[in-house]
A and B are shown apart, each in its own frame.
Chain A
Amino acid sequence: MKTLYDKIWDSHIVVPETDAPAILYIDLHLIHEVTTPQAFTGLRRRGLKVRRPDKTVATMDHSIPTTSRSLIGFDEIAANQVRTLAQNCKDFGIALYDLESPKQGIVHVIGPELGVTQPGKTIVCGDSHTSTHGAFGALAHGIGTSEVEMVLATQCLLQRKSKNSRVDFDGRLQPGVTAKDMILALIGKIGTGGGTGSVFEFMGTAVRGLDMEARMTICNMSIEGGARAGLVAPDDTTFQYLSGREFSPKAKSWDEAVARWKKLPSDDGAHYDHSITIDVNALEPMITYGTNPGMAIPLTGRVPQPQNDADAAALKYMALEPGQALLGHPVDVVFIGSCTNSRLSDLRNAAHLMKGRKVNSSVRMLVVPGSYEVKRQAEAEGLDKIFKEAGAEWREAGCSMCIAMNGDAVPAGKVAVSTSNRNFEGRQGRGARTLLASPLTAAASAVEGRVADPRRLGGLS
């Protein structure tokens, strides 16, 4: 009896674990501009080629501008990094979705969109949010640059097996409560180190009921709970999403693939090292108040008393007092974007709340689609108009204010409600104060100019 994780692991062992870690075969290697230049330098120094350019996909997302799709006049150091990626892809024969490509986007948004993310695959990328792809029942995790070099050269990774952890989300979500709130609730419960050394498998009725985009939101933030990977067993929702995508199997191979994928879910009675259950019936929208994603409370809750010096320092940085309510806390910036919440359904949710309303005059609101494709679809539905008419900025696809490498930053001391995944000190800009929340909560807060409850704006089903 095996878990989903056990099955994927076993079928990718090239050399089993002994005193040395196992040599694990990698089916898909996603790369971007920030964590690869030193890896390509390493390859050149050793005179090595990329073993499987056909299993390597590149895009540019982290340090690119989102004001236009051009590097002209852009930060020269960042532009150089972007050009270095283009040169490396050219030299080593790797497909690159660059700023001119209609398929460019955040690496974790375009993988599923293109259909290269598939159940049962092993997927790595020099980026910790590679866990996103686990929503398809793929074993996907972030790696460092030395490992990027190894995968480029050998299509393999030295790896020891992690523990199996199951996370059951049971019940039915109330209106206004989303996948983002589910994952924040989990991390709030177990802390940012709670999943260290393990792979999460998300299951339960509430997970089964989610569409693929919402499942991606949950798996995306597995790393915030300390787990390198998160998994959701593939089902009809998964197959429907993948059917007909550019790189999905076609015709007879599609049927064969689905038959294979159907064997992936964990066997009944398979062993898990840990388990945790969260009842979502009573779940409220969640928001963070501190400087790590584990510092999360229900939106209607109050800032807890600090338990230690670190908590106290976090509250000081955030300029929040214990016992204070977050609802009504003034907001300066609202960011809707990032690989956590920048897909079409996220933009639809936010637009739904914004329609006919205005961004409060005290707020700067940025809406950054996760990919060029998401942007086009959103525009086809008129979502861009809703945002622009409300007074929000509608941007080109990229990581943008999630990591603030490209000049899109929250000013020091300002408060941002952000749909991204990290509220670390300085993450969204030096001195920036980040409150992580769902697109619904972010949109409601933009309208009110204060942290607001989307359920009280009306119009939610």
Chain B
Amino acid sequence: MKFSSRVVVVPQENIDTDQIIPARFLKVTDKVGIGSHLFEDRTEFQVEKGSQVLVAGNNFACGSSREHAVWALADFGFKAVVSTSFADIFRQNALKNGFLPIVVDPKTHALLKPGTLVTVDLAAQTLSIEGGPTVTFPIDSFAKTCILENLDELGYVLKHEAVISAFEKSA
């Protein structure tokens, strides 16, 4: 997984899940078209289609467990969000959808201005900034393998059926 894109920036800190996708759009029973409500109540964010990398302020996506937040970002066309930190549940939800939560240090973060061209290389775990540095970012090794090799986490756990049954018997 390697791609280049100009970034869109929403600099605010603590952008919560209600801002990403307001609760009134959670009444759906599927994921189709959910991206059309991304940041619906935050028109000042001016997030336009066409970019694959969103840059957001610290503690991105705090709040609820709604996976709709990831679905909305992905459906809108993003493949990654860069921030200085993410809420735990969002980070896990993101990885399960092959969506990259990229953590960088504040200095690198400050270099990412609207329209900056970046290249994300998951295999190398690098974010390269045009005319700037290439930095590495951390990512859960298992999640990385799953995304790169298109492996399915549920399939992985299902393979442990026998161990799970044994655990249930012993408990």
Q: Which residues of A contact B (CB under 8 A)?
A: 14-15, 19-21, 23, 25, 34-35, 37-38, 41-42, 46, 48, 51, 62-63, 75, 77-78, 80-81, 84, 126-128, 130, 142-147, 149-150, 153-156, 158, 160, 162, 191-193, 196-197, 226, 228, 292, 294, 308-310, 313, 403-405, 422, 424-427, 430
Contacts and interface: CB of A to CB of B under 8 A. Distances in A.
B52 interface: no
A413 to B, nearest CB: 13
Interface in B103-148: 140-142, 145
14 contacts: A15-B160, A35-B65, A46-B154, A63-B27, A77-B28, A128-B65, A142-B64, A144-B67, A144-B96, A154-B157, A192-B59, A313-B12, A404-B24, A430-B22
B99 to A, nearest CB: 11
Interface string B6-47: 000001111011110011101111110000000001100000
B77 to A, nearest CB: 20
A196 B59 CA distance: 9
B164 A144 contact: no
A154 B58 CA distance: 35
B1 interface: no
B87 A405 contact: no
Given A144-B67, A147-B96, A154-B157, A19 B141 contact: yes
A14 B67 contact: no
A46 B153 CA distance: 13
A197 B31 CA distance: 28
B27 A156 contact: no
Nearest to B166: A14
A222 B152 CA distance: 31
A15 B142 CA distance: 14
Contacts of A426: 18-19, 22, 41
Contacts of B62: 192-193, 226, 292
Interface of B: 11-14, 16-19, 22-24, 26-31, 41-42, 57-59, 62-67, 70, 85, 87-89, 92-93, 96-97, 140-142, 145, 153-154, 156-158, 160, 163-164, 167-168, 171
Contacts of B14: 192-193, 292, 294, 310
B89 A128 contact: yes
A75 B160 contact: no
B154 A144 contact: no
Contact of A193 (B26, B41, B59): B59
Contacts of A158: 142, 153, 156-157
Contact of B88 (A196, A309, A403): A196
A425 to B, nearest CB: 6
Contact of A226 (B29, B30, B87, B93): B87
B38 to A, nearest CB: 14
B164 A155 contact: yes
B14 to A, nearest CB: 5
B65 A23 contact: no
A39 to B, nearest CB: 9
Nearest to B22: A426
Nearest to B142: A20
Contacts of B66: 34-35, 144
Contacts of B26: 34, 62-63, 405
Contact of B31 (A19, A38, A80, A143): A38
Nearest to A41: B30
A422 B85 CA distance: 20
Nearest to A88: B29
Nearest to A82: B27
A150 B41 contact: no
Nearest to A227: B88
Given A127-B65, A404-B24, A38 B29 contact: yes
B59 A146 contact: no
Contacts of B30: 37-38, 41
Given A146-B93, A146-B96, A309-B11, A196 B65 contact: no
A34 B17 CA distance: 15
A357 B22 CA distance: 36
A84 B19 CA distance: 26
Q: Which of A14, A81, A313 has the most CB of B within 10 A?
A: A14
Contacts of A126: 65
A22 B88 CA distance: 16
